[in-house]
Structure 1
Amino acid sequence: MNLTGIKIQEMVRNTRERLEADFSKLGTKIHRFPRGLRGVNERYIVPSFVSLGPYHHGSPHLRETEELKHAAAHYLCEKSGRSVEEVYGKILSIGTEARSCYADGAVAKFTDAEFAVMMFLDGCYLLHYMDMDYQYALLYNRMTLSTGPCMLRDMFLLENQLPWLILEALTDFFMPYPAYYIVIGLAKNFDITPQYLSDSDSNGARVSVDELKIYRPPHLLGLLRYHLIGDMTGKDHTHSLTCSSLASSATELAEIGIKLTANSKTWFADMSMQRDPILCGQLSLAPLFINDANACWLVNMAAYEACVSSTTPADGFVISSYISILAMLVDKKEDVHELRTKHLVNSFFSTHELLVFFKDLARHMRLGYRYFVITEKIEMFKRERPVRIAVHRFVYNNFKTIITVLSVAGVLAGIFRTLMSLKQHQP
Structure 2
Amino acid sequence: MNNTSCIGVGAEESKALVVDMLPIQERVRMKNEILEAEFKKLETKIHRFPPGLRAIENHRHIVPSFVALGPYHHGLPHLRHAEDVKHAAAHYFCDQSGHTVQQVYDKILSIADEARSCYDDKDAVAGFRDAEFAEMMFLDGCFLLCYAAYEKSDLLYNRMTLSTGPCMLRDVFLLENQLPWLVLEALMTFSTVSEFERVSVDRLLSYRPAHLLGLLRYYLCGGSGMIPGDAEPDDKHENLQLFSLSSSAIELAEIGIELTASDRTWFADMSVQTDHQPFPFGQLSLTPLFLNDFTACWLVNMAAYEACVSTKYPSDGFLISSYISLLAMLMDKEEDVHELRAKHIVQSFFSNQQVLVFFKDISRHLRLGHRYFLITGKIEEFKRQRRVRIALHRFLYNNYKIIFTLLSIASVLVGIFRSLMSLKQHQQ
Q: What TM-score do you get using the length of structure 2 for normalisation? A: 0.89
Tell me if 1:27 matches 2:43: yes
User: How far 1:237 moved relative to its partner?
Assistant: 4.3
User: How far 1:312 moved relative to its partner?
Assistant: 2.8
- Which residue in the other structure is 2:323 paired with? 322
Tell me if 1:296 matches 2:297: yes
- Which residue in the other structure is 2:5 paired with? none
- Seen in structure 2, the aligned counterparts of structure 1 residues 340 and 260 have a Cα distance that, compared at 3 Å, is same
- Cα-to-partner distance string for 1:173-202 (whole Å, 9 max, x where unaligned): 12422x4425x4xxxxxxxxxxxxxxxxxx
- Which residue in the other structure is 1:114 paired with? 132
Moved more, 164-173 or 213-222: 213-222
1:26-425 matches, within 5 Å, as: 26-40=42-56, 41-105=58-122, 106-134=124-152, 136-177=153-194, 179-182=195-198, 184=199, 209-229=201-221, 230=223, 231-232=225-226, 233-234=230-231, 235-240=233-238, 241-265=240-264, 267-275=266-274, 276=277, 278-425=279-426
- Seen in structure 2, the aligned counterparts of structure 1 residues 295 and 266 have a Cα distance that, compared at 3 Å, is closer
The secondary structure found in structure 1 opposite 2:127 is coil
Work out the CA distance in 1 between the residues paired with 2:242 and 2:105: 52
- Seen in structure 2, the aligned counterparts of structure 1 residues 165 and 327 have a Cα distance that, compared at 3 Å, is same
Q: Is the 8 A contact 2:313 2:369 kept in 1?
A: no
Aligned length, in residue pairs: 396
Q: Is the 8 A contact 1:237 1:313 kept in 2?
A: no
- Seen in structure 2, the aligned counterparts of structure 1 residues 149 and 367 have a Cα distance that, compared at 3 Å, is same
Name the aligned partner's letter for residue 55 of structure 2. G
User: How far 1:71 moved relative to its partner?
Assistant: 1.5
Q: Is the 8 A contact 1:44 1:299 kept in 2?
A: yes
- Seen in structure 2, the aligned counterparts of structure 1 residues 354 and 175 have a Cα distance that, compared at 3 Å, is farther
User: How far 1:141 moved relative to its partner?
Assistant: 1.1
Q: Is the 8 A contact 2:242 2:380 kept in 1?
A: no
Q: Is the 8 A contact 1:212 1:227 kept in 2?
A: no
The secondary structure found in structure 2 opposite 1:21 is helix
Moved more, 48-57 or 61-70: 61-70
Name the aligned partner's letter for residue 396 of structure 1. Y
Work out the CA distance in 1 between the residues paired with 2:201 and 2:343: 31
- Cα-to-partner distance string for 1:61-109 (whole Å, 9 max, x where unaligned): 1111111111111222123221111111110100111011000121111
Q: Is the 8 A contact 1:180 1:223 kept in 2?
A: no
- Cα-to-partner distance string for 1:131-161 (whole Å, 9 max, x where unaligned): 1434x22222111110141111100000000
User: How far 1:246 moved relative to its partner?
Assistant: 2.0
The secondary structure found in structure 1 opposite 2:258 is strand
Work out the CA distance in 2 between the residues paired with 1:286 and 1:102: 33
User: How far 1:359 moved relative to its partner?
Assistant: 1.1
Name the aligned partner's letter for residue 107 of structure 1. V
Unaligned runs of 5+ in 2: 1-21
Name the aligned partner's letter for residue 142 of structure 2. C
Q: Is the 8 A contact 2:243 2:379 kept in 1?
A: no
Q: Is the 8 A contact 1:180 1:212 kept in 2?
A: no
Moved more, 299-308 or 236-245: 236-245
Q: Is the 8 A contact 2:243 2:373 kept in 1?
A: yes
Unaligned runs of 5+ in 1: 1-5, 185-207
The secondary structure found in structure 1 opposite 2:135 is helix
- Which residue in the other structure is 1:195 paired with? none
The secondary structure found in structure 1 opposite 2:66 is coil
Work out the CA distance in 2 between the residues paired with 1:225 and 1:175: 27
- Seen in structure 2, the aligned counterparts of structure 1 residues 353 and 155 have a Cα distance that, compared at 3 Å, is same
Work out the CA distance in 1 between the residues paired with 2:82 and 2:415: 79
Work out the CA distance in 2 between the residues paired with 1:132 and 1:211: 21
Following TM superposition, the consecutive aligned residue runs of length 4 or more in structure 1 with deviations greater than 6 angstroms are none
Cα-Cα RMSD? 1.7
The secondary structure found in structure 1 opposite 2:268 is coil
User: How far 1:277 moved relative to its partner?
Assistant: 6.2
The secondary structure found in structure 1 opposite 2:47 is coil
The secondary structure found in structure 2 opposite 1:259 is strand
User: How far 1:337 moved relative to its partner?
Assistant: 0.9
